[in-house]
Structure 1
Amino acid sequence: MKRILAIVGDYYHKYEWAQESLLKALQPYQDVKLVFTETGQLLEKLGEKPDAVVLFKEDRVNPNEKEVSTWMTNEISQSIVDYVENGGNWVAWHAGLASFPVEGSYTQMLRGYFLSHPEKHQSVRYVSSGENLIVSETINFNIMDEHYFVHVDEANTNVFLRSESVDGESIAGWYHKYGNGRVVCLTPAHNQEGLMNSEFLSVLGKCVHWVSE
């Protein structure tokens, strides 16, 4: 049985929606035990060496306040990197790519990060990108979403999903080995409708399955 640790939900991203989405995405995989935890317990839980960790939570704790606090300390960032280098596996999902220090060890491990999204949600098309290890079939679906625009070090990762909307085009999914571990980054989805979309759920499940193989 593979133990998957998940940290989901923040000011802008509803915990219950992300929790339900992840539970549904992993339903086809009978060899997975999903455990939800909080950032305050992450260091302790990493010490228990889960098979993979899924992060759907941005770094800002109180983004609308004048004095903004963050939770990812240098110690936590380095502990995550050490965990992956030593054979752990990481999925940075949507908010898990957002507001972390660009030069920090966590973001450097991801080899990509969130830049911006348009204020208005639009219909976003997600399409698979060439042969890859995540999805074997052709992916092509539309959802109303917060279209994430990201910076990705394409030369040092593998792009498997791209996005397009009236606001432009971007990379939506990439993966790579990191030390003895694996990293997957996935930008959709924000709304409850998108999080529950069957085609999206299939992609999310395959991302978690690949890192934890």
Structure 2
Amino acid sequence: MIKIAALVGDYWHPGDDAKAGLEAAINRIPNKAEIELQYITYEEVSQVLDSQPDLFINAKMNVLNPRDEQLVTWLTEEIDEKIANYVKNGGSVLAWHAGMAGYPKQTRYTQMLRGAFDYHPPGLQEVTYMQVDKSFTLLDEHYFVHCDVNNTEVDLRSTGESGDSIACWKHSYGKGKVCCFTPAHTKEGMLNENISLLLAAKINWMLGM
């Protein structure tokens, strides 16, 4: 079996929405019957990575309590090192939407991603996502990111009333693979056929299927 471990859901992003989007994408993968999908909590990340899943999907922001004065984050130094070593040794990580938000630049995790979330304009906007051969528009949080474009492959860009940004990039890291995918914020956006097809393609690439 091909094992995927997924960390989804945080204060701003309902876990059930991400589960619906992820499962819709996996259902588009030709060898979906061979995939075993496990949802985990942040407390379980370290233990699950010890079992060497084929893919770890992080769709959870680092801050657990963004409304509080004293912020608590889940990415400890130990887990940070473990994630980086997991990929170096052949694992793969997909940082999906919130999975690249709130992680300090100096962490091994962010350095491995070679980019991260900076901000998004308030609310939802019409965002046009552009591939080499097609583009499509949906209502979404428009993520603005920084990305080391010289050391990764950018294959999706975004544009909206607030400007232009990068929406997806991917690269090898050690023996493993890393992909960052910014859309989408809403359940409707995640279930959008274009987003679902793209997410399925990224998962397919990371699994080498």
TM-score tier by shorter-chain length is over 0.9
CA RMSD of aligned residues (A): 0.8
Partner of 2:189: 194
Q: TM-score, normalised by structure 1?
A: 0.94
Q: Deviations over 1:123-177 (max 9, x none)?
A: 0010114xxxxxxxx3411110000000000010000000000110000000000
Gaps of 5+ in 1: 130-137
Q: Deviations over 1:38-57 (max 9, x none)?
A: 11011110010000011100
Partner of 1:18: 18
1:69 aligns with 2:64: no
Task: Report the CA distance between 1:25 and its aligned residue.
Answer: 0.4
Partner of 1:59: 62
Q: State the secondary structure of the residue aligned to 1:50.
A: coil
Q: Which runs of 4+ in 1 moved over 3 A?
A: none
Task: Report the CA distance between 1:106 and its aligned residue.
Answer: 0.4
Which residue, 98, 115, 120 being the options, matches 1:117? 120
Q: Which one-letter code corresponds to 2:142 in the other structure? A: H
Partner of 1:101: 104
Is contact 2:20-2:187 (8 Å) kept?
A: no
Q: Which one-letter code corresponds to 2:16 in the other structure? A: E
Q: TM-score, normalised by structure 2?
A: 0.96
Which residue, 66, 76, 81 being the options, matches 1:78? 81
Is contact 2:126-2:160 (8 Å) kept?
A: yes
Q: State the secondary structure of the residue aligned to 1:49.
A: coil
Gaps of 5+ in 2: none
Identity %: 41
Which residue, 159, 163, 180 being the options, matches 1:168? 163
